[in-house]
Structures are given as structure tokens and as C-alpha cells.
Chains A and B, each alone.
Chain A
């Protein structure tokens, strides 16, 4: 596929990440990088440590060992809200939306970090605060249009079907204008049509906004179609890394998926 923005330099690099909970080793010595504008897939059998990896990147988990370099800055620990402030947004495997709010409010919440106006102005709801709100609303409307969810703008998200909730969650992540977008199984539990829509959205996001995307996905077809490069985890270790075609041919990957004993 043609790209508006060619894959660029390294945006994020994880180095020798080791994470354990109690005695359970979730990740051991995992290193890989994500380049600007690429779609990077993280795959592996259940319990391979994929979600843990995303949680490390966005600061939910703090690895015992290893470091993360994002936009050239190396850090060992970062809290989730700091990661968000740096430009990392994400979605969750088991949809984490603000269930009491409407679609619009959910996506507006994604703009919180971009809001700057003075607290007192907000309290009075005048001047800069109102202008700012209008500006953000406009941005959010573009996302709503982009994701084709106009019809559910005012619907409380708790009432939406699963596939649409996933879309709203993506919208909320996009509202933060992230540089790195982490998608944890964006297509889990969807039917064929919803999956196709979601694939199209992911490709469009990558293409239109140039957003770098790291995604975990189980559907191999989707992974092979979408991603530029794939990293394969198994039992918390990296067992392969490369283009989809390359990875598919690796014996270790085939073994891992067929369940050959270690």
C-alpha cells in the first residue's frame, strides 16, 4: 500500500523488559522498537504477555527491569497519566468506557489533556472557557464523523452494542491526538462486518493522521493485512520479530501456535 507518510525513525523502544507478579514471570527480557507511522502488531498465544506489554508501555505496570525510550527520552517508570500527557493513548481489551456518559462526552473526555483554560473561567463558563469548549467540540465532531457514529452521539454508551462501544473507545483515544496509539484486541468479539469496519478505521487513522499504532490481535488474517511489522511473544519472551511474511515462516512461531511443548 502507498503511504502518505513513510515509516520513519524509532518512536518507542522497549529494552530488556522484565516484569513479574509475585512469582509469575509475565515478561522476561523483551526488547523491540516501534517506528514512526508504522502499524506494529504484537501477537502470541494466550498468556504470552501481550497485554502486560501494553500495560508496561502506557505505565499501568512498572517493570522490575529494563527501560523504555519514547521520543528519545528514556524512563524506567512512568504513570499512566504521564504517559497520556506524552502522547500515548490506548484502548482496552474489555472496553473501559465511562458508561454513564454519552458518546460525545466520552470522546470529549479524551480531550481533557488538551484543555487549558483557567479553572475560574470554567466555573463561570464564559470567555476563553467557552471558546475552548467549542473548539474541542469541533474536533470531536470530526472524530465522530470519521468513525461514522453520528447516530449515537447522544446515546449513553452503556446502551450501545459491543461493536459500537469499541468504536467509541477508539474515538476517545483519537481525541487525545496521540503519537502512539495502543489497541488491545480492537476486534475481539466482533462479527465479520464490524471487523472490516474496524480494519478500515485503523488503516485510515494511520494514513490520515499518521498515527503510529501498536496493536494486539488474535485474528491472524487481520494482523497480516494490517501490520507493517509483527513481534511475537510466547511465555513472556520474544520469539520472533519482523514483517508478517517473515514471522509467519518462523518455526518457533508455528510451534508456539500449534502448542509444541517447551
Chain B
């Protein structure tokens, strides 16, 4: 019994990692109907940014730039709060830009003072988040806005383009080797339930940490979607662009928010994946595992992404251990896709997806 539970638990924890990536896909798909092929690239990009900013091996320009981005983001958020709290007293357009610029300069200046030593995680993580936000703004401005009202397939093609760009761009500015990400998350294995089973159950602390992070993330996202004005606006945009605009929802801002949130999710996934596997190009490929997860869980369901990930993670491990000796090894590589194919045959909307009913 012990080994079986160990396999299941290990599978579930691996599944959490898949879920994290799948979540990013679901967010963007829900809000804009776009299947964002670049989600995997974003995970890699976020992980690379983080690990390199912490490394202390980059040129000064890198640090100045990252710090400037962080400064701009902080300035922007502060301005937002100012506007909402006291709309009358808030500065005008020009002054706002100026203010944001000043924040950027302050950031760069602080970075210059700090020198080229690696940053601590407390600075590097917000900086990476800010970079993901900037990336979202750039994607909205340069790709989505010109393609507004186009067919989903065109937007999908555009995200493939974005994928290649981010992959190349990330490796150009951050480097393309294998880096070790160490945020101080404990990685050593531990034994559970030793009193119940002989030898207990072996789990990795990192996996438990990842599961906890995923849980918190899902809870926050759920509240965000269900309870906030922005969440309601997101659902509206997902349903009908025109109608959403007509009730006063600014489409562009919503897209920026969605891509930023997807970027944050990518960052979280990047941290966890990077800690587990090291930051390397293969992260972008492992992200493809999110596809079967989505097919299983449904493209529009946040809980679906989580449960889909868990099922696939667990299924893979069980298949590898129990079917492997019969069918030969390597089941882990194709099992998820096989499962997705079966789901497609019987339940094309996924386990949790909205049933597509067309009424005439």
C-alpha cells in the first residue's frame, strides 16, 4: 500500500505543476477566446528573468533596465490608487507620464547604486512581475490591438509568433544556458506517515511547497473572478466584446490585465518549475503538457485546469510504474496525450467545460 500511495502522491504533486501552466492558458482563453500558444514561452521567460536577475552575472544595463521597469510599475500602480481615491486631485495625462518616468529613473538610479551584484528574491520577483506586466502591455499594443475583431485562428497564429519572439528575445538578453534557481525553497525529501506504513511515504518538500502555492493561487484567482468588478468585466469581455464595450468596459485595459495576470501565473509556474528542474529551454516544451490538461479539464474552467492537471500527473506516474513493465518504458511521454484523445472522443467540451448548446 505504501508504495502505491507514494506513486499517487508523487503523481498528484507533479500534476500541480501542469495545472499551474494550464491555468495561464485558461485565463487568457476565458477572457479573450484566444488560445495563447505563448504561455509556455512566458513561463520560460519569467523563470529566466528571475534567475538571471538574482545571479549577478549580467551587465549593469540589465539591472538598470529591470529596475526602471519596476519603478515604472510601482509609479503606475500608485497613480492608479491616487486616481481612484481622489479623481479631482490626480495629475493630468502629461504630468502622469512625467511622474511615471521619474519613478523609472529612481528605480534605475537605485540599481546603479546597488551595482551589479545579484538581487535578492524580494526585489527580483517584483521586478520580474513588472517585466511580465510590461510584456503584456507590449503584446496588447503591438499584436492584439491591430488584430482586433479578427478570427480566433488569426490571433492563435499571432501567439505562435509571440512564442518564437519571446523564446529568442529572452535567451538573447538573459542567456541560454541551464541555470539553477534557488529561492531557498527546501528541496530535500521527507517521509510521511512512518507510523502507518513501513518506511513511510517519500515526498519532496518542494512538491508540497508547489502544491501550496498552486492552492493559494487558485483561491486568489477564484475570488478575483467571482467577486471583483474587474472579474465581472473579464467575464463580460469573454462573452461578448461589443456588448462589453457598450457598457463601458475598456477592452484594451482588460486585455492588458488578463495578459498581466497570465504573466504572473507564468512567473509562479516558472519559479516552481525552475526550482525543480533548473531554468532551461525544456521548460517551454514541458509546458506543452498543459494541452492535454486543458482538453481534459475544459478550456474555460479554472477548477478544470487544476483537476485535469492532477489527473494527468497521477495517471502518468501510475501508468509508468504499473503499466511500464508490461508495455515498456516511456509511457510518461505519451500517456497524457492518449488520455486527452479519449476525452476528446467522448466529451469534447472536457470534464468541466461549458457544454456547447446552440439554440435556434
- Which A residues are within 8 Å of any B CB, using their own CB? 58, 60, 79-81, 84-85, 89-90, 92, 96-101, 105, 108-110, 112-113, 115-119, 122-123, 125, 129, 158-159, 172-173, 175-176
B232 touches A110 (CB 8 A): no
B236 touches A109 (CB 8 A): yes
Q: Which residues from chain A contact B236 at a C-beta distance below 8 Å?
A: 98, 101, 109, 112
Which of A80, A115, A118 interacts with B246 by CB under 8 Å?
Answer: A80
Knowing A118-B84, A123-B224, A158-B359, say if A81 contacts B239 (CB, 8 Å): no
Does B113 sit at the interface, judged by CB under 8 A? no
* Bound Cα distance from A90 to B246, whole angstroms: 7
B245 touches A60 (CB 8 A): yes
A92 touches B249 (CB 8 A): no
B248 touches A119 (CB 8 A): no
In the assembled complex, the CB of A167 is this many whole angstroms from the nearest CB of chain B, namely 15
In the complex formed, the residue of B with least CB distance to A80 is B245
Q: Which residues from chain A contact B250 at a C-beta distance below 8 Å?
A: 79, 81
In the complex formed, the residue of B with least CB distance to A118 is B84
- A sample of 5 cross-chain residue pairs with beta-carbon separation below 8 angstroms, ordered by A number, consists of A80-B245, A81-B248, A81-B251, A113-B247, A119-B84
Which residues of B in the span 208-252 have a Cβ within 8 Å of any Cβ on A? 223-224, 227-230, 232-233, 235-236, 238-240, 242-251
Q: Which residues from chain A contact B248 at a C-beta distance below 8 Å?
A: 81, 84-85, 112-113, 176
Does B357 sit at the interface, judged by CB under 8 A? yes
Tier of interface size on chain B = 20 to 34
In the assembled complex, the CB of B263 is this many whole angstroms from the nearest CB of chain A, namely 18
Knowing A101-B235, A158-B359, say if A112 contacts B243 (CB, 8 Å): no
A123 touches B227 (CB 8 A): yes
In the assembled complex, the CB of B9 is this many whole angstroms from the nearest CB of chain A, namely 32
* Bound Cα distance from A242 to B207, whole angstroms: 74
Does B354 sit at the interface, judged by CB under 8 A? yes
* Bound Cα distance from A52 to B230, whole angstroms: 30
In the assembled complex, the CB of B357 is this many whole angstroms from the nearest CB of chain A, namely 7
Which of A85, A100, A119 interacts with B239 by CB under 8 Å?
Answer: A100
* Bound Cα distance from A159 to B355, whole angstroms: 13
B246 touches A98 (CB 8 A): no
In the assembled complex, the CB of B234 is this many whole angstroms from the nearest CB of chain A, namely 11
Q: Which residues from chain A contact B238 at a C-beta distance below 8 Å?
A: 100
Interface of B is mostly: helix
B359 touches A97 (CB 8 A): no
In the complex formed, the residue of B with least CB distance to A115 is B229
Knowing A81-B251, A99-B240, A125-B223, say if A119 contacts B230 (CB, 8 Å): yes
A176 touches B247 (CB 8 A): yes
A97 touches B243 (CB 8 A): yes
* Bound Cα distance from A97 to B228, whole angstroms: 20
* Bound Cα distance from A105 to B236, whole angstroms: 9
In the assembled complex, the CB of A86 is this many whole angstroms from the nearest CB of chain B, namely 9
Q: Which residues from chain B contact A116 at a C-beta distance below 8 Å?
A: 84
* Bound Cα distance from A98 to B233, whole angstroms: 11
- Please give me the 5 A-B residue pairs with the lowest Cβ-Cβ distance, nearest first: A84-B248, A96-B243, A98-B239, A80-B245, A113-B248
* Bound Cα distance from A97 to B235, whole angstroms: 12
Which residues of B in the span 303-360 have a Cβ within 8 Å of any Cβ on A? 354, 357, 359
Point out which of B248, B250, B354, B357 has the most chain A C-beta atoms below 10 A from its C-beta: B248
Q: Which residues from chain A contact B357 at a C-beta distance below 8 Å?
A: 158
A89 touches B359 (CB 8 A): no
In the complex formed, the residue of B with least CB distance to A99 is B239
A100 touches B223 (CB 8 A): no
In the assembled complex, the CB of B216 is this many whole angstroms from the nearest CB of chain A, namely 13
Q: Which residues from chain B contact A176 at a C-beta distance below 8 Å?
A: 247-248
* Bound Cα distance from A195 to B248, whole angstroms: 28
Q: Which residues from chain A contact B239 at a C-beta distance below 8 Å?
A: 97-101
* Bound Cα distance from A191 to B42, whole angstroms: 52
In the assembled complex, the CB of B118 is this many whole angstroms from the nearest CB of chain A, namely 32
* Bound Cα distance from A147 to B244, whole angstroms: 21
A89 touches B228 (CB 8 A): no
* Bound Cα distance from A10 to B246, whole angstroms: 23
* Bound Cα distance from A186 to B123, whole angstroms: 55
* Bound Cα distance from A146 to B224, whole angstroms: 31
In the assembled complex, the CB of B26 is this many whole angstroms from the nearest CB of chain A, namely 14
Which residues of B in the span 154-206 have a Cβ within 8 Å of any Cβ on A? none
Which of A60, A117, A125, A159 interacts with B359 by CB under 8 Å?
Answer: A159
Point out which of A60, A80, A123, A172 has the most chain B C-beta atoms below 10 A from its C-beta: A80
* Bound Cα distance from A201 to B187, whole angstroms: 66
In the complex formed, the residue of A with least CB distance to B239 is A98
A109 touches B247 (CB 8 A): yes
Knowing A96-B240, A112-B232, say if A84 contacts B247 (CB, 8 Å): yes
B251 touches A123 (CB 8 A): no
Which residues of B in the span 240-293 have a Cβ within 8 Å of any Cβ on A? 240, 242-251
* Bound Cα distance from A231 to B18, whole angstroms: 59
In the complex formed, the residue of A with least CB distance to B242 is A96
In the complex formed, the residue of A with least CB distance to B228 is A122
Which of B229, B240, B354 interacts with A122 by CB under 8 Å?
Answer: B229
4 new A-B contacts, CB < 8 A, other than A123-B223, A172-B243, are: A96-B240, A112-B247, A123-B224, A158-B357
